[in-house]
Amino acid sequence: MNPLLILAAPLAAASFNLPPARPIDPADLWVAGVALTAEEFSCLLEECTWRTLEQVVEDGETVFYLVDPCGDRDGLPWLDLADAVGDLAPMIDEALCQE
């Protein structure tokens, strides 16, 4: 008899289910320095400041608006997600430090 089969049989019989993977919190990604998508960044912004980042296409160009809790756009749009993240990062950092 093959010795590998003798060793493999108990391992095959001892199958078990892994617990479901928990979704990664955008705040954990932010602290780790991972670049977030517009949707992830908007979720993090909402969690920290009650505001969201709305991604829309205007005149064939993607722009990003800061939206207050009432649903009103606040200020002029950003043309680039990186600019929006750079301008809004201090609000997120401050909110995460207070938690």
Residue 73 lies in a domain: yes
Per residue in 11-25, pLDDT tens? 555 566 767 677 778
Residue 12 lies in a domain: no
**Any domain includes 6:** no
Tell whether 40 is covered by a domain.
yes
Would you state the pLDDT for residue 31? 85
- Three-class SS state of 55: strand
Domain encompassing residue 34: 20-98
Report in angstroms the alpha-carbon separations of 94 from 32, 49, 62, 91: 16, 10, 28, 5
Number of structural domains found in the chain? 1
| pLDDT single digits (tens) 35-73 | 899 999 999 999 999 999 999 999 999 999 999 999 999
